Structure 1
Amino acid sequence: MALDDKCVEKIYHVKNRSLDHALNLNIASFEQMTFFSKNQPKYLEKLYNKFMPGSLTVILEANDRVPSLVNNGMSTVGFRMPDNQATLEILRQTGPMVGPSANLTGNPSPKTADDVLHDLNGLIAAVLKDDANISGVDSTIIDLTGEMPTILRQGALTLSQINEVIKG
């Protein structure tokens, strides 16, 4: 869980990830996103309704409910809503969880459950196997904290797709 420092520390350790790289919050609802953020743009709900769950990671200003280990003192936090019904049900029951890719830091993003096990076997307790829902394409990361949306990582969604929803 994202609210349990020991769990978050373990994820950093398992991924061999330095503490200066923040983690996303995986969420199950718009309400969870707004509960852990502040100064949301007026068009946020439009983006949520169009692209979530899906391949979009949204960067917003963090509020003081975001555990410090999740964003490591940064003023922002990323939100991702996975497009997997089993994962969403778990998130509904547990609340937000940190959601990095399921690989060792620096390795390619996994495309199958076997890829996850190849990287993390012996380091994690289980894998939820649902290879049909793994696209192999990273999410688009978009920063919504400035005047204009800024893509930080191009993934499955383009800026023009995002702008079409914002302006529509």
Structure 2
Amino acid sequence: MNTKRLTEKNMDEAAAILRDGGLVGIPTETVYGLGANGLNEEAVAHIFEAKGRPPDNPLILHIPDASWLERYCKDIPLTAYKLADAYWPGPMTMILRRKDIVPDAVTAGLDTVGMRCPAHPLCRAIIDAAGVPVAAPSGNTSGRPSPTTAQHMLEDMDGKIDAIVDGGPCSVGVESTIIDLTDTPARLLRPGGITLEQLEAVLGEVAVDPAVTRLMGAGEQPKAPGMKYRHYAPKAPVTVVTGDPQKSAEYIASHAAPEDGIICFDEFLPLFTRRSETRPVMDLGPAGDKEEQARHIFDALRSFDHTSVPAIWAQCPDATGIGLAIANRLNKAAGFHIIRV
């Protein structure tokens, strides 16, 4: 298959491919998504084939605005519209009761479905032009770091899908927050660009699912993407070091082998680069700027796949604000191999 590289000028072509059952890489503000017509079971099955994705890992339906919710969901609580008013379009997915029109392939057989209205205007325009909800997980091979540029996605999907629409680099850099509104209290299933604190500002009490901070067991079924399996992982094993930034940097410096790769905050680059001019070191961003860290985390993890590093050591921010999402992605990349200092 020849994968076309499209731009906003080719929006109608991308929409037609989706409507007709093809696969298209679409830009969002979080990461690039691998999109298919969410009402076409055969097209959705091709997503799983292209990614090598486990069939019990549900997908998210992307819609252009909140008015589409009633087409695909039932028993919609008032809180869904309150959250939509506050944070849509934006990096937030709501788990709601699904209608029968939504195929089992999208929901992994669950009676719920994840719904999201992305903030990227080109993404919404493509969905609106297609006239169908777009099922779209991150556009990477299953388990690898998510793509935040069209080039990242081409590395994994070139020749496997019909087209990729280049909408520039993603502004958030980590996948959407997933909040389950079928539970009482509402339950955070995956942290992302909308923080726990922002959800609490609208909903009051929010429970945090244990899968946010640990691996799910073999017998547990995920209600949302990214909960059960090792995700976001480069080829080399990752060790996450969390705690005071100065102490975590010093710990890595004293324990990492000379040939190991390093992901660190801006302030500690000299600590690693002065010891070896050839050691691969990736800059995560300033220790105090978590939004910048979120934009760089997947690029940092991916970059080491172009090197021969035997292991990767990563500094990790605290879990407040979007730091919870960054820590979640790093910890999953490391298989929850975490050292606290």
Measured against the shorter chain, the TM-score band is: over 0.9
Paired position in structure 2 for 1:11: 47
Task: Give 1:166's aligned residue.
Answer: 203
CA deviations over 1:7-38 (Å, ceiling 9, x no partner): 11111100111211111101112122222111
CA distance in 1, matches of 2:43, 2:198: 35
Higher alpha-carbon deviation: 70-79 or 123-132? 123-132
Superposition TM-score, scaled by structure 2 size = 0.47
User: Is 2:96 aligned against 1:60?
Assistant: yes
Query: What amino acid sits opposite 1:33 in the alignment?
Result: L
Q: Give the distance between the partners of 2:136 and 2:87, measured in 1 at CA.
A: 17
TM-score norm. by structure 1 comes to 0.92
**Alpha-carbon distance between aligned partners in 1 of 2:106 and 2:170, rounded to the nearest angstrom:** 26
Question: For the residues of structure 1 that align with 2:77 and 2:173, how far apart are their CA atoms?
Answer: 30
Q: Which residue is equivalent to 2:129?
A: 93
Partner Cα separation in structure 1 for residue 99 and residue 185 of structure 2 = 20
Q: Tell me what 1:30 maps to.
A: 66
CA RMSD for the aligned pairs? 1.4
CA distance in 1, matches of 2:141, 2:171: 17
Compute the displacement of 1:134 (Å).
4.1
The SS at the match of 2:114 is strand
Are 1:22 and 1:71, in contact at CA under 8 Å, matched by a contact in 2?
Answer: yes
Q: CA deviation at 1:93?
A: 2.2
Displacement after TM superposition at 1:118 (Å): 0.7
CA distance in 2 between partners of 1:132 and 1:49 (Å): 26
Partners of 1:133 and 1:73 lie apart in 2 by: 31
Residue 151, structure 1, aligned to residue 188, structure 2? yes
Percent identity (aligned): 36
CA contact (8 A) 1:25 1:77 kept: yes
In the TM superposition, residue 135 of structure 1 has moved relative to its aligned partner by 2.3
Paired residues in the alignment total 167
For 1:14 and 1:159, locate their aligned partners in 2 and report how far apart those are by CA, in whole Å: 32
Following the alignment from structure 1 to structure 2, what is the Cα–Cα distance between the partners of residues 30 and 92?
A: 12
2:159 counterpart of 1:136: no
d(CA) in 1 for partners of 2:70, 2:87: 16
Residue 81 (structure 1) shift = 1.5
Of stretches 127-136 and 16-25 in structure 1, the one that deviates more from structure 2 is 127-136
Residue type of the partner of 2:192?
A: G
| Structure number with higher relative contact order (C-alpha < 8 Å, ≥ 6 residues apart) | 1
Structure 2: gaps of 5 or more residues: 1-36, 205-341
Deviation, 1:165, is: 2.2
Give the partner amino acid of 1:90.
I
Secondary structure of the corresponding residue to residue 50 of structure 1 = helix
Is 2:142 aligned against 1:105? yes
Stretches of structure 1 lacking an aligned partner (at least 5 in a row): none
Which has more radius of gyration?
A: 2
